[in-house]
Amino acid sequence: MSLYNDASLLLIPSGYKSGTVYSQKPTDGSGDLTFTRASNATRVNSDGLIEKVRTNYAKYSEQIDNAAFWALTNSGTITANNQVSPDGTQNADTLTAGAISSQVQGAIVGTIGTVYTVSIYIKRISGTGNVFLRAVENANTLISVTNEWQRFTATVTSTTTNIRIGVHLGTSGDAVAIWGGQLEVGDIATDYIPTTTAAVSVGMTADVPRLDYTNSSCPALLLEPQRTNTITYSEDINNAFSSKVGVTITSNNTASPDGYVNADLLKFDTTSGYILRVQTVAAATTYTMSVFVKNNNFTSGQLLFFNMSDGVIGGLTAQIDVVAKTATYSGTGGAYTNVSGKVEDYGNGWFRVSVTGTSVNGGYGWYEIAAPGVTNSCYVWGLSLEVGSYSTSYIPTLGTSVTRVADSCSKTGISDLIGQTEGVFFFEFDYKHRQINTSLFDTSLNNNDNIYLLALSDFKLRMWINVGGVFQVAITTPTIPSEGTHKVAMAYKENDCAFYLDGVQMGVDTSCTIPTVDDLLLKTPNQNTRQVLIFKTRLSNTELAALTTI
C-alpha cells in the first residue's frame, strides 16, 4: 500500500459523470480524465446484465393534460392529478369521453422500418365501453381495462414517420385514469422512465464512461474502437428480414442477458430446419460474427451450426455444443482464412459464441443458424456481424445497422503529475483480444515523444520509448501473454529503463534517453482498464516486481 501512497496519479475506475472519469489521486480533481464517445453503447452492469441505452420519447409522461405534447380530440376532457398513480402519488389524470371516439394522444417523428413499443398505465373509472391503445397513425389496439392499474403495451414496425401514443375511448361518458406514458424503440416495453419537457435516456449514452463489471464485482473502464453491427433486428430472429424453413420461433419467450424477456425460442421442427439472412461479404476482409445462446432441450452431442457464407466457395462456421457451452471453428471450402473463435459465459445459462475469419472472395452470401439432424430447441438473442478481428460489446439493432463510435480517455497538461526525467507508468488491465496501446505523450498527444505499452501483431507486449521519432527503448515480452488480468510497469530514467509484467522482469535498457511528457492517453481496444498509476520517481526493481505481481 505504501507504493500506492507514493503515486502522483491513481485511477481505479469507480466514479464518473458524462465526459469524466474520476481519479482517486490527486484529490483536487486535477487528475480526472476526459472521456468521449459520440454514440450510445452497452456495458455489463453491477447486476451482471447487459445494460443498453433506453429512451422514453413521450414527453410529460405523467402530465397527460399538458398540451405541449398531448392533444385532446372529439370533445374529450382531462382532469389533472385526481387519481393515485401506481407510484402511490396523486398525480394520475382522468380522461373522460365527451363524444364517441374521444381520445388523447401525442406523437413523435420516427423512422420507417423501425420497431417501436408504446406503453401506458390505465384503469377504468366509469363506463363499460371499448378502450383502445394507439400506437401509430390509424392503428388502435383494443385493450381490456379493469378498475385496477394495468400497464398496456403495443409493438409496431413503423410504416410511417408519424409515431403516436394515446388512449381512445369508444363510448361517450366513459372515463379512465392514465399515467406513465412511454414510447420507445424496441420490441418490448422496458422499465418506465419518467419525462417532463424532453425525451429522457438512461444508460451508456454518448460521452458516459463505461464502468464494466464483466465477470467481476469491481468495475473496470471499458474502451473500444468504433464498430458497426450490420445485422438488423439483432434481437428479433422472427422478423421478416429472415427466411425461416422448418423452424418455429416464439418471440420474447425468456429473459435475455439484458434481463428483459426479449429472447426468442428457436425450435427446429425438421432435421434440416434453418434461419437464413442475406448478407453481402466483401473480399479480403476480416469479419467477426457472434450470437448469444441458451439451451432449452438440446442433449449432449447435438450441435447448433452458426455460419456465414461468402456466396461463392464456402463459409465461416462455428459448431456449437449447446449443452457443453463449447464451440469449434472452421472456414469451409477455403472461403475464410485465419479462423478463430471464443465462448464467453454471461450467466443464467447464456453464453456468447464469436467466430472470426478473413474472407477470400466475398460475395452475395447469407448468415445462417441451423442444427442438422436435430429437432430440439434453444434460445437465441443478440446477433452481430462486425468488421474486425474480435467481437466487441454488444451493439443492439432494430431495423438498421448501428455504429458505436470509439471510446477515448485522456488527460492533457499534467506535467506536474508525470516525472519528467524519471518515473513509472503502471497499468492493470484485462487482456481480452490482445490489442492495446496506452501511452504517456508529449504536448497535444502527438507521437514524437512518448512512453507507451502496445501489443504487437504477434500479440506480444512491448514497452516503447520514442524521442523525436527515434526509438530509445523497445523491450518485448518473450511469449504471448494469456487472456486475463495482467499488471505491467514501465520504469524510465536516463540509462536505466525496465519493463515488468506480472512480477517478472521482461528486460532492461541501460543506454536510453528520456522524453518530456505531460499527457496521458488510455487507448485499450476492448480491454477493461482496472488500475492506472503514475510515479514521479523510478521505483526499484524489487518494488516493480512487487507492484506487478498478480
Q: Per-domain residue ranges for the chain? A: 2-47+408-548, 56-202, 227-404
C-alpha 498/C-alpha 449 separation (Å) is: 18
Question: Exposed, middle or buried: residue 550 (CB in 10 Å: 0-12, 13-18, 19+)?
Answer: exposed
CB half-sphere exposure, 182, CA atoms < 13 A: 26
What's the whole-number mean pLDDT along residues 535-546?
96
Which run of H or of E encompasses 503? none
Distance CA 391, CA 306 (A): 15
**Distance between CA atoms of residues 98 and 78, nearest Å:** 10
Cα 506 to chain centroid, rounded? 35
User: What pLDDT does residue 279 have?
Assistant: 87
Distance CA 259, CA 124 (A): 31
CA-nearest of 170, 169, 186 to 178 is 169
**CA dihedral defined by 134, 138, 141, 143, rounded to 10 degrees?**
60
Q: How confident is the model at residue 3 (pLDDT cuts 50, 70, 90)?
A: confident
**pLDDT of 105 higher than 90:** yes
pLDDT of 226 above 90: yes
pLDDT at residue 456 in the model? 80
The predicted-structure confidence for 322-332, as pLDDT tens digits, reads as follows 999 999 999 98
Checking DSSP bridges between strand 139-143 and strand 131-136, what pairing results, if any? antiparallel
Ranking 376-390, 424-438, 462-476, 531-545 by mean pLDDT, the lowest is: 424-438
C-beta neighbour count of 458 within 10 angstroms: 8
Beta strands in 256-335 (DSSP E): 261-268, 274-281, 286-295, 303-309, 315-321, 326-332
Asked if the model's pLDDT at residue 369 lies above 60, the reply is: yes
Mean pLDDT of 268-280: 93
Confidence category of residue 282, pLDDT binned at 50, 70, 90:
very high
Rounded to an integer, the average pLDDT of 216-243 is: 91
Q: What is the mean pLDDT of residues 381-397?
A: 95
Name 182's bridge partners: 119
pLDDT at 447: 61
Confidence band of 1 (pLDDT split at 50, 70, 90): low
Of 78-82, 160-164, 224-228, 438-442, where does mean pLDDT reach its minimum? Answer: 438-442
The CA distances from residue 6 to 213, 326, 453, 549, in Å, are 28, 45, 22, 18
pLDDT for the residue 364: 84
| Residue 137 confidence (pLDDT) | 72
DSSP 443: G
CATH, domain range 227-404: 2.60.120.260
What's the pLDDT band for 365 if we cut at 50, 70, 90?
A: confident
Q: Judge whether 2-47+408-548 and 227-404 match in fold.
A: yes
pLDDT more than 70, % of the chain: 98
Predicted pLDDT at 527: 67
Of 212, 239, 182, 153, the closest CA to residue 56 belongs to 182
Q: What average pLDDT does range 78-83 have in this prediction?
A: 96
Task: Say yes or no to pLDDT of 255 above 90.
Answer: yes
Measured between alpha carbons, how far is 134 from 137 in angstroms, rounded to an integer? 8
Residue 500: all three cell numbers together: 515488468
Q: What percent of the chain has pLDDT over 90?
A: 75
User: What pLDDT does 524 receive?
Assistant: 66
Q: Is 445 helix (H, G, I), strand (E, B) or coil?
A: helix
Label residue 163 by pLDDT band (50, 70, 90). Answer: very high
Q: What is the pLDDT of residue 18?
A: 95
Whether 229 and 279 have beta carbons less than 8 Å apart is answered as no
pLDDT at 526: 61
Q: Give domain 2-47+408-548's CATH number out of 2.60.120.200, 1.10.3720.10, 1.10.760.10, 2.102.10.10.
A: 2.60.120.200
Average pLDDT over residues 370-390: 95
Q: What is the pLDDT of residue 399?
A: 85
Over residues 416-448, the pLDDT tens digits come to 999 999 999 999 988 876 677 788 887 655 567
Q: Nine-digit cell at 497? A: 529503463
pLDDT value for 82:
95
pLDDT, position 452: 87
CA atoms within 13 A on the CB side of 501: 22
Mean per-residue pLDDT over the chain, rounded: 92
CATH 2.60.120.260 fits 56-202, yes or no: yes
- Work out the number of other CB atoms within 10 angstroms of the CB of residue 467: 18
What local confidence, expressed as pLDDT, does residue 444 receive?
Answer: 58
Q: Where are the beta strands (DSSP E) in 159-246?
A: 162-169, 175-185, 200-202, 210-212, 220-223, 227-229, 243-245
CA distance 219 to 530: 7
Q: Which of 311-320, 363-372, 496-505 is the most confident on average?
A: 496-505
Q: Where is mean pLDDT largest: 107-116, 203-212, 272-281, 448-457?
A: 203-212
pLDDT at 446: 55
**Which CA distances in Å does 176 have to 102, 449, 484, 541?**
12, 69, 56, 75
